[in-house]
Amino acid sequence: MERIYLDYAATTPVHPEVVKVMQPYFYDKFGNASSLYSFGQEAKAALEESRQKVADFVGARPEEIVFTSGGSESNNTALKGVAFALRSKGNRIITSVVEHHAISEPCKFLAKEGFEIIILPVDKDGLVDPDAVRKALNDKTILVSIMHANNEIGTIQPIAEIGGICREKEVLFHTDAVQSVGHLPVRVSDLTVDLLSSSGHKFYGPKGVGFLYIRRGTKVKPLIQGGDQERRFRAGTENTAGIVGVAKAVEIAAAEMEAEGKQLAHLRDVLIQGLLKTVPDSRLNGHPAQRLPNNVNISFAYVEGESMLLNLDLEGIAASTGSACTSSSLEPSSVLLAIGLPAETAHGSIRFTLGKWTTRAQVDRVLDVFPKIVAKLRAMSPLYPGAKNG
């Protein structure tokens, strides 16, 4: 049976071209970029070339790109780094209720450290209201952090508009762009951001490497202290192979992203329309139009997510759910609750995220298999009122 991977938002396979360019840096060009001799210098050259490519891709200067271990580190550095650098200026940080845990958990930590965290709500489509950001700003505000695109429901936030407000009020603005870099056009000047987080493995790069854009002049305390690497924003011997891999992933994205986005948006809409049409009592979660080209998130009433997921897995199909039953917390997805879903509906949600190697045949297979899975589970659900004509 062909295995079908539809969880690209969790992680993507590494592009074969990326693997190819990384390989020499494990053995032939293994040097430490801080070393003076040629082994070090060739690593250093690769590092700086990669930094330039990444900078070009997001419209930044190379010295504004700090390589990290990935999205979580980038987000932690942005939040804690700015918070501790600007502590004497104020203590208010504004964020939203739909952020990834790599934002919400550092915010909880900062709240314990005496910072005032303002968590803005979202509307039924998952959008943050820029006007609410404006109203939440006060003279104690040191940072606003709103994600670019949501990992669960795919909603794309009005980042440029929020950025404009923050710039006007001279408050630093960070966006977690882990789900958007490599998939949507991301230019730091268009978005008007001061900090931007990205992760390699979300766009066909390797795991364990990402970057943080830090606008020139922005004060950020490092999380990791030690050597002088990354202009002291991030100590530690550089992950040369990983960084070279991210730079290649960025190059591929620059060439393929636009066409890929169109193709995925088409397949996404085929899947959404197909499921909503064939499965009664289902609803799309997230913004109908302002959403990632690869994101499908649908709730199916009367059934629970993990049991749908297991049935899909038995068919070789990999997806994800907002149900509590796959987490240890026993709470359903906070994002789905934030857009107003009742808990029982949130438990019955499934996320399919498409990618570069998703085919129409794979989408058709899901459309063939999935309605049967829901029907089977509904037949054994005590919540199901039964067939309407039965």
Partner 1 sequence: MAETPLPYSEKVMDHFRNPRNVGVMENPSGVGKVGNPVCGDVMELFIKVENDIITDAKFRTFGCGAAIATSSMVTELVKGKSLEEALKISNKAVAEALGGLPPIKMHCSVLAEEALKAAIDDYRSKQQIAK
Q: Does 304 bind partner 1 (CB under 8 A)?
A: yes
**Residue 88 vs 328, nearer CB to partner 1:** 328
Under 8 Å between Cβ of 70 and 213: no
Tell the smallest beta-carbon distance from residue 206 to partner 1 (Å): 25
Q: How far is the CB of 381 from partner 1 (least distance, A)?
A: 4
Q: Does 114 bind partner 1 (CB under 8 A)?
A: no
What does R_g of the chain's alpha carbons equal in angstroms? Answer: 22
Three-class secondary structure of residue 120 per DSSP: strand
Measured CA to CA, the distance from residue 195 to residue 320 in angstroms comes to 29
Q: Under the criterion CB under 8 A, does residue 383 sit at the interface with partner 1?
A: yes
Among 36, 259, 289, 380, binds partner 1 (CB under 8 A): 380
Query: Residue 73 Cβ, how far from partner 1 at the closest point, in Å?
Result: 27
CA distance 282 to 153: 15
Residue closer to partner 1 (CB basis): 76 or 323: 323
Q: How many CB atoms lie under 10 A from the CB of residue 98?
A: 29
Cβ-based nearer residue to partner 1, 83 or 341: 341
Q: Are 242 and 22 in contact (CB under 8 A)?
A: yes
282 close to 300: Cβ distance less than 8 angstroms: yes
DSSP state of 290: S
Determine if 385 is a binding residue for partner 1 (CB under 8 A).
no
Min dist CB 207 to partner 1, Å, is 21
Question: Contact 109/238 with Cβ under 8 angstroms?
Answer: no
Contact pick of 139, 382, 388, 389 for partner 1 (by CB under 8 A): 382
Cβ contact 211:68 at 8 Å: yes
Residue type, 202: K
Number of amino acids touching partner 1 (CB under 8 A)? 31
* 233 closest CA partner among 222, 225, 247: 222
Residue 288 vs 316, nearer CB to partner 1 = 316
Catalytic residue numbers, as ranges: 325
Binds partner 1 by CB under 8 A, chosen from 254, 276, 310, 387:
310
The one-character DSSP state at 124 is: T
Only segment of 32-40, 49-57, 95-103, 300-308 that touches partner 1 (CB under 8 A) = 300-308
Q: Which of 86, 292, 303, 373 binds partner 1 (CB under 8 A)?
A: 303
Minimum CB separation from partner 1 for residue 108, in Å?
22
According to the binding rule CB under 8 A, does residue 373 interact with partner 1? no
Residues 2-21 touching partner 1, rule: CB under 8 A, are 3
Closer by beta carbon to partner 1, 4 or else 122: 4
Q: Which residue among 50, 76, 141, 307 contacts partner 1 (CB under 8 A)?
A: 307
Residue of 259, 281, 271, 289 whose CA lies nearest to 351: 271
Host H or E run for residue 340: none
Of 186, 205, 248, 196, the residue nearest 75 (C-alpha): 196
Binders of partner 1 among residues 312 to 351 (CB under 8 A) are 313-316, 323-326, 328, 330, 332, 342-344, 347
Pairing of strands 295-300, 349-353: antiparallel
For partner 1, the binding residues (CB under 8 A) are 1, 3, 302-307, 309-310, 313-316, 323-326, 328, 330, 332, 342-344, 347, 379-384
